Structure 1
Amino acid sequence: MRLFWEQGYEKTSMQELVSHMGIHKGSMYDTFGDKQSLYHKSLKRYSEMLDQSVMQLMADTRSAKEAITVLFETTIHQKEELPNGCFIVNTAVELAKHDAEAIEMVHLRWSHTEKLIHDLIVRGQQSGEFSMSLNAEGLSYYLLNALIGLRVMVKTISDKEKLKQIVEMNLSVLERSD
């Protein structure tokens, strides 16, 4: 997964995968199938890890806005040992026209995140934290788009303060205006 995440699908050779995993080429094919199957399994594993991580971080939040903020801030403050950016976003950019199964997995991941954001907005509206006048559906689309953009930006911008200001500006749409 890490090799695909760092290099992308096209730039990762079977030989690199075999060497990186420390197995024989025959074992690779017997265990994982072809390169594309291994990529899909890696993408599925990444998605599962992302779910675990997000749910664990959000479990400690006290409000809907805090949960949404955590979702954005974890993008900025990735663990040092992980590659920059998001494997899902990388897949969307690299394979959008070439791999229908990978793109379906990307869309499922984004739909899942969009629903999470939507549900948090509705929860915030029900608790009085957010205005009832907010369009929860439209706002979930907007915030997902902002989150994806942020995941692209962290690949090339190391200025954490700038990224934090971007998050604050995006989340300002949640402020009560009534």
Structure 2
Amino acid sequence: MGRSREFDENVVLQKAMELFWKQGYEKTSLNDLVEHMGIHRRSLYDTFGDKHTLFLKTVDFYAELIKNKMQAGISNAETAKQAIRFIFDFTIEGYEDKQWGCLIVNSATEMALRDKEIEEKIEKIFMQTEQLLADLVRKGMETGEFSCKYDPEVLSEILQNTLLGIRVQLRMSASKEKLHRVADFFMDLLNN
């Protein structure tokens, strides 16, 4: 009879996620993972597979975590404008004050060109986000909150790229004041 797991899979997966998020895929060794996760190498392989498979699982874990936080904030917003403002503020202020940028964006810039699985996974996440943004812009136009005459799909593409740029700048320690000015400009664009 096999030994039972002596750890909570979600807890150690979160630890792996944070290490990949902070250091990136290439700079994170198996020894780093074993030490940071607090499990044996054999347990890592038995539970998560190899480093690449573990990384893919951490990307999914991160995406679900952020999606849940975003959905909670959006559902608390009374208007589309408040929802988009929440997305900007959440992006700029970060998750639990971790100033490592965004694991998805970091992974896209580090690995997407040479790893098809990562590219496809990230492209799917980006498309889902863009659809969410388009829905919010469309809702704001229908309710009269936004008076701009741009197509909601185009605005969602611009908004997505603005948010991606903000996430990259966060990784480089850009000032939050600067990033909030960018957000303010976009919010003003919705009314032009």
- Scaled by the length of structure 2, what TM-score is found? 0.87
Partner of 2:129: 113
Alignment deviations for residues 63-117 of structure 1 (CA, whole Å, 9 cap, x no partner):
1111111111111111455242100000000002221111111111111110011
Identify the range of structure 1 (156-165 vs 146-155) with the bigger mean alpha-carbon deviation: 156-165
Does residue 150 of structure 1 match 2:159? no
Calculate percent identity across the aligned residue pairs: 41
Query: Following the alignment from structure 1 to structure 2, what is the Cα–Cα distance between the partners of residues 80 and 129?
Result: 31
Query: Following the alignment from structure 1 to structure 2, what is the Cα–Cα distance between the partners of residues 24 and 84?
Result: 27
Partner of 2:21: 5
Query: Following the alignment from structure 1 to structure 2, what is the Cα–Cα distance between the partners of residues 63 and 81?
Result: 26
Partner of 1:61: 77
Query: Following the alignment from structure 1 to structure 2, what is the Cα–Cα distance between the partners of residues 60 and 98?
Result: 39
Quickly say closer, same or farther: Cα 1:7–1:32, change in 2 above 3 A: same
Does residue 86 of structure 1 match 2:102? yes
What's the RMSD between the two structures over aligned residues? 1.4
Q: What amino acid is aligned across from residue 151 of structure 1 in structure 2?
A: R
Q: Which runs of 4+ in 1 moved over 4 A?
A: none
Query: Following the alignment from structure 2 to structure 1, what is the Cα–Cα distance between the partners of residues 176 and 42?
Result: 44
3-state SS of 2:131 partner: helix
Give the conservation status (yes or no) of the 8 Å contact 2:99–2:170: no
Superposed, 1:28-177 pairs within 5 Å as 28-131=44-147, 133-175=149-191, 177=192
User: 5+ residue gaps in structure 1?
Assistant: none
Q: What amino acid is aligned across from residue 6 of structure 1 in structure 2?
A: K
Give the conservation status (yes or no) of the 8 Å contact 2:101–2:171: yes
Give the conservation status (yes or no) of the 8 Å contact 1:67–1:120: yes
3-state SS of 1:154 partner: helix
Alignment deviations for residues 107-132 of structure 1 (CA, whole Å, 9 cap, x no partner):
11111110011000111111111237
Query: Following the alignment from structure 2 to structure 1, what is the Cα–Cα distance between the partners of residues 179 and 110?
Result: 24
Query: Following the alignment from structure 2 to structure 1, what is the Cα–Cα distance between the partners of residues 175 and 133?
Result: 26
Q: Give the number of the structure with larger relative contact order, counting CA–CA contacts within 8 Å between residues 6 or more apart.
A: 1
Identify the range of structure 1 (25-34 vs 124-133) with the bigger mean alpha-carbon deviation: 124-133
Q: How far is 1:171 from its partner?
A: 2.3
Out of 33, 36, 49, which is 1:20 matched to?
36
Query: Following the alignment from structure 2 to structure 1, what is the Cα–Cα distance between the partners of residues 19 and 26?
Result: 11
Give the conservation status (yes or no) of the 8 Å contact 1:89–1:152: yes
Query: Following the alignment from structure 1 to structure 2, what is the Cα–Cα distance between the partners of residues 81 and 60?
Result: 21
Q: What amino acid is aligned across from residue 167 of structure 2 in structure 1?
A: R
Give the conservation status (yes or no) of the 8 Å contact 2:20–2:55: yes
Aligned length: 176
